[in-house]
Amino acid sequence: MTVIDRRRFLFSASAAALAAGALGGAALAQTQPAMPKIKIDDKSVLIVVDVQNCFLPGGSLAVGKGEEVIPIINRLGKSFANVVMTQDWHTPGHISFASSHPGKKPFEVIKLPYGDQVLWPDHCVQGTEGAMIHKDINIPHAQLVIRKGFRKTVDSYSAFREADRKTVTGLAAYLKSRGLTRVFVSGLATDFCVAWTAMDARREGFEVFVIEDATRGIDTQGSLAKAWDAMKKSGVKRIQSSDLAV
Ligand code: VGL
Ligand code: ZN
């Protein structure tokens, strides 16, 4: 069912509850039909974004409560035949690192030729322990790990397109050539790599869901609320893992 259908459904469900109330107070809970669940089909793919040691407790860019997504993502993984993971994969001295810009501190924003860049603590350097996908992620049937941000002078939050907004990673072509059209996004961090991946997936024509409870955000300078707003505008559907039929 589309978002519009779901809204209509919610509206008719609450109208029914109101009517029941007017008719003498039948218990609300009994008149509210269960929300239909979203079905995972063979055109659906789960994208697990950057569940890497650097973004988890003890990591150099730890996302608050990031570890809480792991059991949820493992559970989701069992319901998806198609799973793709991403790995933030930077060179040493990467342009997104504050340490590469003398006098700058993490979380400051600078202007680069391709636009504004938040500066981060060094993280996810190619081949290091911090860049490994967390050992507790248990989805052995995942089919592709796409690495991004591997060019020293360009960042890439999105799994589809680098921050220059021109260079593609190949993920859209991969999904399309496999006939996958419905993208479900999970992982870290909601307001950066998850949001950019979800919005680029929309731009590539996919139906896109972000599974909110399977994500956690960094939330620097209002970034989390801004990201949800931008995702909504681009047509990303915000759902919970309990909305899925599993
Ligand atoms: C991310 C900041 C820098 C992310 C990656 O995975 O959301 N955030 N690099
Ligand atoms: Zn990064």
Closest CA to 156 of 144, 135, 171, 142: 171
Structure token digits, residue 120: 């981060």
3-state secondary structure of 215: strand
Residues 28 and 134 reside in one and the same domain: no
Residues 132 and 25 reside in one and the same domain: no
124 belongs to the catalytic site: no
Residues 133 and 85 reside in one and the same domain: yes
| 109 domain-assigned | no
Give one DSSP letter per residue of 132-197, joined into a string: SBPTT---TT--EEEEE--STT----SSSB-TTSS-B-SHHHHHHHTT--EEEEEEE-IIIIIHHH
Rounded to whole angstroms, how far apart are CA atoms 198 and 160? 9
pLDDT over 50 at 68, yes or no: yes
Answer whether 49's CB lies under 8 Å from 186's CB.
yes
The reported pTM is 0.90
Report the separation in Å between the CA atom of 198 and the middle of ligand 2, taken as the mean of its atom positions: 16
Which residue's CA is the nearest one to ligand 1's atom 2? 192
| 98 domain-assigned | no
pLDDT over 60 at 185, yes or no: yes
148 belongs to the catalytic site: yes
| 115 domain-assigned | no
Residues 25 and 49 reside in one and the same domain: no
Report the separation in Å between the CA atom of 193 and the middle of ligand 1, taken as the mean of its atom positions: 5
| 121 domain-assigned | no
pLDDT over 70 at 195, yes or no: yes
Residues 79 and 196 reside in one and the same domain: yes
Answer whether 49's CB lies under 8 Å from 188's CB.
yes
Cis peptide, bond prior to residue 189, ω within 30 of zero: yes
Residues 210 and 189 reside in one and the same domain: yes
List the catalytic residue out of 50, 88, 155, 200: 50
50 belongs to the catalytic site: yes
Rounded to whole angstroms, how far apart are CA atoms 193 and 185? 10
| 18 domain-assigned | yes
Mean pLDDT of 2-19: 50
How far, rounded to the nearest angstrom, does the alpha carbon of residue 199 sit from its chain's CA centroid? 9
**Best residue among 88, 134, 186, 219 to mutate for probing ligand 1, ranked by most atoms within 8 Å of CB:** 88
Question: Which pLDDT does position 132 carry in this prediction?
Answer: 98
Residues 4 and 83 reside in one and the same domain: no
Residues 195 and 236 reside in one and the same domain: yes
Rounded to whole angstroms, how far apart are CA atoms 127 and 163? 22
Rounded to whole angstroms, how far apart are CA atoms 23 and 99? 67
Question: Which pLDDT does position 237 carry in this prediction?
Answer: 98
Residues 86 and 15 reside in one and the same domain: no
Residues 68 and 184 reside in one and the same domain: yes
Residue 58, domain extent: 44-90+128-243
β-strand partners of 44 = 182
Ligand nearest to the CA of 126: 2
Residues 76 and 180 reside in one and the same domain: yes
Residues 172 and 51 reside in one and the same domain: yes
Rounded to whole angstroms, how far apart are CA atoms 130 and 124? 5
pLDDT greater at residue 235 or residue 34: 235
Mean pLDDT of 73-77: 98
pLDDT per residue as tens digits for the range 13-27: 555 444 444 444 445
Distances (CA, A) of 168 to 29, 178, 201: 49, 17, 12
Mean pLDDT of 129-138: 98
List the catalytic residue out of 54, 88, 148, 237: 148
Question: Which pLDDT does position 21 carry in this prediction?
Answer: 45
Report the separation in Å between the CA atom of 96 and the middle of ligand 1, taken as the mean of its atom positions: 10
Which residue's CA is the nearest one to ligand 1's atom 6? 193
Mean pLDDT of 194-214: 98
Rounded to whole angstroms, how far apart are CA atoms 187 and 198? 11
Report the separation in Å between the CA atom of 142 and the middle of ligand 1, taken as the mean of its atom positions: 21
Q: What is the mean pLDDT of the chain?
A: 91
Question: Which pLDDT does position 122 carry in this prediction?
Answer: 98
| 39 domain-assigned | no
CATH code, domain carrying 154: 3.40.50.850
| 111 domain-assigned | no
| 103 domain-assigned | no
Closest CA to 93 of 53, 120, 131: 120
Domain count, the chain: 2
Four-residue CA torsion sign, 130, 148, 72, 228: positive
Closest atom, ligand 1, to C-alpha of 187: 6
Question: Which pLDDT does position 25 carry in this prediction?
Answer: 46
